[in-house]
Amino acid sequence: MIVKTISRLIAAAGLSLLFIQVAKAEKITVTDIAGREVTVNVPIQRAVLGEGRQLYIIAALDRENPAKRIVGWRKDLIEADPATYQAYLAKFPAFGDIPAFAGLEQSLIDIETTIAQKPDVVFLNLETQQAVDEANYVEKLGALDIPVIYVDFRHDPEHNTEPSIRLFGKLFDQEIRAEEFIKFRAAEIARVTDKLAKANPARPKVFIDRAAGFYEDCCHSFGDGNFGAMVEMAGGDNIAKDLIPGTFGQINAEQVLVSSPDHVIVTSAAWDAYVPGGKWVPVGPGADVQLAEKKLEYYPTRSAYLRIAAQKTHAFHAVWHQFYNSPYQFVAIQQMAKWFHPDLFTDLDPDEIFRKLHDRFLPINYQPGYFASLTNKM
């Protein structure tokens, strides 16, 4: 009699739990960064990431176990940011079991791998939309009830980062955490922009050497978006903003020489996977700053920089390239503000702020090494 009663209670409890789980799950319609209305079952449990570096925000939402909902992803995090990947892998070994496919930011996802994982949703970079449309991937996945959501931390991050974070927060049932992250990020950007607006200092001319060491030729840079916009927010004058239409592009060495920038910002990273032995500057988590500074010494010798203002003052700096594709851009804005206006931002410590972000939002420990500079070094 007692055993039967216990069995009934267990069965009832199981049904109740099932009812709660079913009741919690629901279909919602969201508008993604491409302006598409997409219906998704939430909270999602299985996600394929068309950009592995989307982990930068997912880890802040699923801090206790950021691997638990990722069932497939692109290899870009593993290859472009190996130190971060190894830090997560060491703490969450399940990352080593996630199926990964190759390709760069604009590449199509591996649709066979994606379908095999039976995801609740696929997150894609906004800039892949044309290729995805031409390949009819949305229709092919939709026929299997797999929705596609476009997000953007790279093409137009100054406008799309916050709504992308909110999309992840809503679909992961982590809206409160998402808003806390957005608030933290906005406050740290305001620490720079508010002070600049009040002081209104003269703006030094700046050239951004984009993905230095990834390309052998000169002079890849940013227009009025991404790092180009970050330079402006940090109180600099991006010399390529009127020369490059859109976010990414290239100008010739003569244009740099004529502009004679006061600062050269090299965006780079440890790119052994892409350019073994290249002239990239290995800044990033846990980097050897002395080694980074040593490799940075090559850049003032480039023909495009001979006799420019920055060469005379050794104002060459390296910034972790991955800031261009993550919700952590505000750290780069703060560091550039210190380089451009050192007297105005003596109280600003970007390393300490990035450490606070890790302590508050992320499951891995902070490792310095994201910046290097030749100022006062040569």
Residue with tokens 């394929």: 48
Using the Cα atoms of residue 65, residue 151, residue 317 and residue 192 in order, give the sign of their dihedral.
Answer: negative
Tell me the backbone φ, ψ of residue 35, rounded to 5 degrees.
85, 15
Q: Report which DSSP code applies to 215.
A: B
Report pTM.
0.91
Contact 355, 328 (CB under 8 A): no
Q: Report which DSSP code applies to 319.
A: E
**Residue of 20, 362, 305 whose CA lies nearest to 184:** 362
CA 289 to chain centre: 21
* Cα end-to-end span (Å), the chain: 86
Could you give the CA distance from residue 165 to residue 226 in angstroms, rounded to a whole number? 17
Residues 6+ apart with CB under 8 A from 315: 262, 263, 264, 309, 339, 374, 375
**Residue of 204, 162, 214 whose CA lies nearest to 183:** 162
Model pLDDT, residue 80: 94
Model pLDDT, residue 107: 73
| Alpha helix stretches (DSSP H) within the chain | 2-24, 55-61, 76-80, 82-91, 111-116, 129-134, 137-142, 157-171, 175-199, 227-233, 253-259, 289-296, 309-313, 329-340, 350-361
Radius of gyration of the chain (CA): 23
Amino acid at 279: K
Model pLDDT, residue 9: 41
Both tokens of 301, joined, read 């010798």
Beta-bridge partners for 27: 41
Model pLDDT, residue 322: 97
Task: Going residue by residue through the chain, which has 378 residues, state the pLDDT in tens, using 9 for 90 and above.
Answer: 444 444 454 444 444 444 444 445 689 999 999 999 999 999 999 999 999 999 999 999 999 999 999 999 999 999 999 999 999 999 999 999 999 998 776 678 899 999 999 999 999 999 999 999 999 999 999 999 999 999 999 999 999 999 999 999 999 999 999 999 999 999 999 999 999 999 999 999 999 999 999 998 999 999 999 999 999 999 999 999 999 998 999 999 999 999 999 999 999 999 999 999 999 999 999 999 999 999 999 999 999 999 999 999 999 999 999 999 999 999 999 999 999 999 999 999 999 999 999 999 999 999 999 999 999 665
Model pLDDT, residue 108: 85
Contact 21, 92 (CB under 8 A): no
Question: What is the pairing mode between strands 316-320 and 371-373?
Answer: antiparallel
Could you give the CA distance from residue 157 to residue 188 in angstroms, rounded to a whole number? 16
Could you give the CA distance from residue 74 to residue 53 in angstroms, rounded to a whole number? 9
